[in-house]
């Protein structure tokens, strides 16, 4: 007991008091008391966390679990696929409260991302009324069509050009490079405002939301996982709270407009909670207010409702925007893939401009392969999330981990495992087709592809994400040509990872109309 309190690493690794000792990656900055604090802090500030974790994995061997120490805490990285399935699908430990609590500083710690498993199930059930319906898929594709195609030759008469479309038009007319990721963020924010609020926001609202979300993500990189963040990252925590205040004002205004629309009859009032399943067509604000007004999980805690809206807005726009930008970047250097994708679209879809519908997507298998390969090569939630075991656990691999152990299942180490994905650094959509790569290699195991994680805490917005990506990519490629522009001075590469997402940086493109 004394050894554990005074030096938990010694008690674990030398005295063998706390379960199985897993391999540790080689590192020149592994201090006896502080562990890997220095390389983790350096990688976090430099937004290169994914590189660090991938290097650690390569050091111990692909597909092998390993451990590192940060101060007095042991962090276990799960790379064994069988262990990962057991932990996420059967055991489902909650997110680590001490490590992840800083997410709650945005608005409130009682957000869907942080609550315990029993409560999480209830919140998730409410969200699914708005996220997993065919009406929602229709909303997504209609929004994509409006934002990208409205006001173009051949589009429905009378439709005005969206401001996202005007930005694209201006870049084409001037021949100026376009910041592809920033523009894609504006598009996906527009889509998510439709899904959450059934609204088309003006440009100033999109600009403000983008800034608030960016502040939240960047500041989170400076506090999550860091020792004594209350002392080390006061400025970052202040930025998180300021972003939360801006979003609360945004959501309060949306609630006011919704209640006014119900009162004046311009929008149907949803049936009360407890009534038969509500009709399709309810947006997220409908189902959340329906629950709140019916005395459900959101009753009496308006800030909790706002916190969950913030999480859905972030998860629904940020990740898909980065995926779209990564996909277009990959296609600029793979013209054969782009040509094949366009040929499939021209064969299966009406002539452009055509608003893609959810019914079109099953007829585009190569588009599905491009989506899967983009998500494999560029896993947006690259590092997964930190969980904490609530009881002593024996994994299928035989390792024994005590209660309180911090575990994470990095997506990037699974998706870049050369033993599972041959030539992992290459963009090869064919690996997802029945014939595979044509070299006799077996198709990738489903358990190794986990862009949304798996189990009860997997991403609840998967339908929205895949529909946005596929409809957006095929619509853009049929209307425009993209060519990578020279980077800005000092720009290096396109990979950048905060603690939350992997995203492109300095990715500029020249856009032309496709004729």
The annotated binding site is made up of: 459
Query: Residue 15 and residue 1: Cα distance in Å, rounded?
Result: 11
Q: What is the CA radius of gyration of the chain?
A: 23
Residue whose entry in the numeric block shows the structure tokens 């690259």 = 382
Query: Residue 380 and residue 375: Cα distance in Å, rounded?
Result: 7
Q: Are 186 and 166 in contact (CB under 8 A)?
A: no
- Counts for the chain of helices (H) and strands (E), in that order: 19, 11
> Which among 166, 57, 84 is positioned nearest to 454, based on CA atoms?
84
Query: Residue 502 and residue 53: Cα distance in Å, rounded?
Result: 13
Q: Are 243 and 216 in contact (CB under 8 A)?
A: yes
My answer on whether omega of the bond before 445 falls inside 30° of 0, hence cis, is no
Binding site per annotation, positions for heme: 459
Rounded to 5 degrees, φ, ψ at 69 are: -110, 135
**Which tokens belong to 52?**
């660090």
Query: Residue 399 and residue 474: Cα distance in Å, rounded?
Result: 45
> Which among 161, 240, 143 is positioned nearest to 197, based on CA atoms?
143
Query: Residue 502 and residue 494: Cα distance in Å, rounded?
Result: 10
Give kind and range of the element (H or E) at residue 67. Answer: strand 66-70
Query: Residue 59 and residue 23: Cα distance in Å, rounded?
Result: 10
**Which tokens belong to 202?**
């003006």
> Which among 86, 91, 84 is positioned nearest to 117, based on CA atoms?
91
Q: Which residues, in sequence order, are CB contacts of 24 under 8 Å at separation 6+?
A: 30, 60, 66, 67, 68, 69
Q: Are 178 and 511 in contact (CB under 8 A)?
A: yes
DSSP state of 179: E
Query: Residue 393 and residue 81: Cα distance in Å, rounded?
Result: 16
Q: Are 94 and 88 in contact (CB under 8 A)?
A: no
Q: Are 221 and 499 in contact (CB under 8 A)?
A: yes
Which stretches of 224-364 are DSSP H helices? 229-232, 234-264, 284-293, 302-332, 335-348
Partnered with residue 179 across adjacent β-strands are 508
């Amino acid at each position: 007991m004394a050894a554990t309190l005074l030096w938990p690493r010694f008690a674990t690794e030398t005295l063998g008091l706390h379960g199985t000792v897993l391999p540790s990656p080689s590192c020149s900055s592994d201090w006896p008391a502080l562990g890997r604090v220095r390389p983790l802090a350096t990688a976090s500030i430099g937004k290169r966390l994914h590189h660090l974790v991938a290097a650690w994995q390569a050091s111990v061997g692909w597909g092998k679990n390993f451990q590192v120490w940060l101060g007095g805490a042991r962090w276990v990285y799960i790379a064994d696929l069988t262990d990962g399935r057991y932990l996420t699908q059967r055991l489902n430990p909650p997110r680590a409260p001490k490590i992840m609590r800083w997410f709650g500083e945005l608005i409130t710690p009682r957000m869907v991302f942080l609550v315990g498993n029993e409560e999480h199930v209830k919140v998730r059930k409410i969200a699914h009324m708005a996220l997993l319906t065919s009406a929602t898929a229709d909303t997504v594709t209609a929004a994509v069509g409006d934002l990208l195609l409205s006001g173009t030759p051949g589009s429905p008469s009378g439709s005005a050009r969206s401001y996202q479309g005007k930005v694209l038009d201006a870049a084409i007319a001037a021949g100026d490079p376009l910041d592809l990721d920033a523009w894609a963020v504006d598009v996906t924010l527009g889509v998510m405002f439709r899904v959450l609020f059934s609204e088309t926001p003006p440009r100033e609202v999109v600009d403000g939301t983008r800034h608030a979300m960016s502040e939240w993500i960047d500041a989170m990189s400076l506090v999550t996982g860091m020792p004594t963040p209350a002392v080390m990252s006061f400025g970052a925590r202040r930025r998180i709270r300021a972003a939360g205040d801006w979003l609360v004002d945004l959501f309060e205004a949306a609630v006011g407009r919704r209640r006014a629309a119900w009162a004046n009859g311009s929008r149907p009032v949803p049936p009360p909670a407890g009534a038969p399943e509500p009709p399709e067509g309810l947006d997220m604000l409908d189902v959340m207010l329906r629950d709140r007004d019916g005395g459900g999980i959101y009753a009496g805690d308006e800030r909790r409702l706002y916190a969950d809206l913030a999480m859905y807005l972030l998860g629904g726009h940020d990740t898909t925007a980065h995926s779209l930008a990564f996909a277009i970047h990959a296609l600029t250097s793979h013209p054969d893939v782009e040509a094949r994708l366009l040929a499939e679209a021209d064969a299966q879809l009406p002539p452009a401009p055509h608003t893609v519908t959810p019914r079109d997507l099953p007829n585009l298998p190569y588009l599905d392969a491009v989506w899967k390969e983009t998500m494999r090569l560029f896993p947006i939630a690259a590092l997964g999330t930190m969980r904490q075991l609530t009881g002593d656990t024996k994994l299928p691999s035989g390792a024994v981990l005590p209660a309180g152990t911090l575990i994470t299942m990095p997506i990037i180490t699974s998706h870049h495992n050369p033993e599972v994905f041959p030539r992992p650094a290459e963009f090869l959509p064919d690996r997802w087709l029945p014939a595979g790569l044509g070299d006799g290699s077996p198709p990738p195991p489903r358990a190794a592809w986990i862009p949304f994680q798996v189990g009860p805490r997997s991403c609840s917005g998967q339908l929205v994400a895949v529909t946005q990506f596929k409809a957006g990519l095929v619509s853009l490629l049929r209307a425009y040509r993209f060519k990578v522009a020279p980077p800005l001075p000092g720009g290096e590469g396109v990979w950048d990872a905060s603690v939350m997402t992997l995203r492109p940086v300095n990715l500029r493109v020249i856009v032309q109309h496709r004729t």
